[in-house]
Amino acid sequence: MTLTAVKGFNDILPDESRRWQHIEQTARRVFELNGFGEIRVPVMEKTELFCRSIGDATDIVEKEMYTFTDKGENSVTLRPEGTAGVMRAFIEHKLYAQDPVAKLYYMGPMFRYERPQKGRYRQFHQIGAEITGVHDPLADAQVLNMLATFFREIGLTEPTLQINSLGCPECRPAYRTALRSFLEERLGALCEDCKRRFATNPLRTLDCKVPGCIESTAGAPSVLEHLCKGCDDHFSTVKHYLDLSATPYSINARMVRGLDYYTRTTFEMVTGLLGSQSAVAAGGRYDGLISQLGGPAIPGIGFAMGLERVALLLGSQEFTTLPDLFIATMGSSERDVAFSLLDGLIKSGVRVEMDYEGKSLKSQMRRADKLKARYSVVIGENEVAAERATFKRMADGLQSDAALTVSGIQTLVMKSEQ
Ligand code: HAM
């Protein structure tokens, strides 16, 4: 029996990889412009890190983690998200000692045992960014603007930004109580999951996709009406800065996040183009997380986007770089010349292909077509002797005579690129 990949774990083949590289490069450029530096943390952490940060009563920790005991009897988990590991590293390396304001970004695989479908996988990839050490709403606005700039630069008008505030440990308990008493009267109409959430994590009922729950929670109290003065002012200032920088957004008071560490500002970039997987990027402020993990009382805010979802939105846009030239040979005696040219041209930055297997001229030309080479050249005894050849522009058949040297070919190929 042939072996296949594990369900929900995908191979990324070269054409798709190019799309990914384009996304990664755009993110790196935009993030570096904003003063962020890359951090690379392990894909596996002690299980306790995720229980203490994401929260024991979240879907991620309750049922989606790849947790196992290693040979040393330690409970370890493949990271389901990036923020916890980055903050663990921030504390472990005392990055705050030099400067509490750290701007960090990361990209890589994350793992969640979810039911795979379009846009939702068990191994997926995030590109994320985090700022620590800033209480001021300026940081919230910069992070949101950076995300919006990324999507603009990549050429997507979808997704759109939705923001909310989840309050803080001072005002959220009162909201939770208000929500619970609202839900209590409707408990019978809620799904089994929400009945459980009612006790453990009532805010999550607002995020349930079951039609009965959406209907029953339609008139639920709004978190925005329960913010304390500090959280209310913070949220107003975030909106002020977004208006100032002309970043479009809408307010979604029902947005609750699937991770427990959030305080105040939360946000999602949502799209209607990916079915039920509507969040392309998401994040928020986590002012208590660093101290909760044993670090100093330093606030943080950040986001992560799903690379696969961004790639799906980019759709069929081509990111393949095509060969500049295909070198065909009449016979085996020209293969030395062809190979030297191939080698020299590649070293000079020209993308060249040739026949590797001594195929017939007809099949070599078929391959030149298949590879969509911009130019082709056929080298025979005469061309080798004269050190000149006729180059054919494949798109329109235009023929040009040029020296059969690295610089001659380079000049021809570069000239036609302009
Ligand atoms: P999250 O909302 O759990 O937040 O995930 C962020 C993004 O990762 C989602 O919006 C989605 O695009 C993508 N994603 C999540 N699960 C999957 C999956 N199974 N398959 C494909 N894509 C997926 C976080 O992870 C937070 N750490 C974000 C953050 C950073 N908050 C503050 N800083």
Residue nearest to atom 15 of ligand 1 (CA): 306
Sheet (strand 75-78) strand order: 44-46, 75-78, 66-69
Task: Tell me the CA–centroid distance for residue 256 and ligand 1, in Å.
Answer: 13
Residue 316 clears pLDDT 80, i.e. is over it: no
Which residues does residue 378 pair with via DSSP β-bridges, in sequence order? 328
What is the pLDDT at residue 330?
94
Q: Structure pTM?
A: 0.92
Task: Tell me the CA–centroid distance for residue 125 and ligand 1, in Å.
Answer: 9
> What band does 319 get if pLDDT is binned at 50, 70 and 90?
confident
Instruction: Determine whether the shortest distance from the Cβ of 132 to ligand 1 is under 6 A.
Output: no
* Closest atom of ligand 1 relative to the 304 alpha carbon: 28
Residue nearest to atom 2 of ligand 1 (CA): 282
Residue 33 clears pLDDT 60, i.e. is over it: yes
Residue 275 clears pLDDT 90, i.e. is over it: no
Mean pLDDT, residues 255-271: 95
Residue nearest to atom 21 of ligand 1 (CA): 120
**For 158-207, how does the pLDDT look when each residue is reduced to its tens digit (9 = 90+)?**
889 999 999 999 999 999 999 999 999 999 999 999 999 898 889 999 98
Spans of all domains in the chain: 14-171+227-313, 325-417
Q: 381: which 2 tokens?
A: 């005894």
**For 376-393, how does the pLDDT look when each residue is reduced to its tens digit (9 = 90+)?**
999 999 999 999 999 999
* 325-417 has the same fold as 14-171+227-313: no
Task: Tell me the CA–centroid distance for residue 78 and ligand 1, in Å.
Answer: 15
Residue nearest to atom 31 of ligand 1 (CA): 283
Mean pLDDT, residues 53-73: 95
What is the pLDDT at residue 52?
96
% pLDDT > 90, the chain? 88
**For 332-357, how does the pLDDT look when each residue is reduced to its tens digit (9 = 90+)?**
889 999 999 999 999 999 999 999 88
C-alpha atoms less than 13 angstroms from C-alpha of 173 in its C-beta half-sphere: 2
> What band does 418 get if pLDDT is binned at 50, 70 and 90?
low
Distance from the first to the final alpha carbon of the chain: 52
Task: Tell me the CA–centroid distance for residue 283 and ligand 1, in Å.
Answer: 8
226 Cβ contact list (under 8 Å, min separation 6): 167, 171, 172, 174, 175, 178
Task: Tell me the CA–centroid distance for residue 307 and ligand 1, in Å.
Answer: 10
**For 112-127, how does the pLDDT look when each residue is reduced to its tens digit (9 = 90+)?**
999 999 999 999 999 9
Instruction: Determine whether the shortest distance from the Cβ of 79 to ligand 1 is under 6 A.
Output: no
Pocket test for ligand 1, best of 309, 310, 313, 314 (most atoms within 8 A of CB): 309
What is the pLDDT at residue 105?
98
Whether the bond between 159 and the residue before it is cis, its omega within 30 degrees of 0, is: yes
Pocket test for ligand 1, best of 7, 110, 161, 310 (most atoms within 8 A of CB): 110
Instruction: Determine whether the shortest distance from the Cβ of 59 to ligand 1 is under 6 A.
Output: no
Q: Which of these, 28, 155, 37, 31, lies nearest to 89 by C-alpha position?
A: 37
Instruction: Determine whether the shortest distance from the Cβ of 265 to ligand 1 is under 6 A.
Output: no
Contact 84, 45 (CB under 8 A): yes
> What band does 416 get if pLDDT is binned at 50, 70 and 90?
low
14-171+227-313 placed in CATH 3.30.930.10: yes
325-417 placed in CATH 3.40.50.800: yes
Task: Tell me the CA–centroid distance for residue 85 and ligand 1, in Å.
Answer: 14
State CA 304 to chain mean position distance. Answer: 7
Contact 394, 374 (CB under 8 A): yes
What is the pLDDT at residue 417?
65
**For 212-227, how does the pLDDT look when each residue is reduced to its tens digit (9 = 90+)?**
999 999 999 999 999 9
388 Cβ contact list (under 8 Å, min separation 6): 401, 402, 403, 404
Residue nearest to atom 13 of ligand 1 (CA): 306
Instruction: Determine whether the shortest distance from the Cβ of 258 to ligand 1 is under 6 A.
Output: yes
Instruction: Determine whether the shortest distance from the Cβ of 283 to ligand 1 is under 6 A.
Output: yes
**C-alpha R_g of the chain:** 28
* Closest atom of ligand 1 relative to the 128 alpha carbon: 30
Q: For residue 406, what are the CA distances in angstroms to 32, 283, 289, 334, 338? A: 37, 51, 58, 16, 11
User: How confident is the prediction for the chain on average, in pLDDT?
Assistant: 95
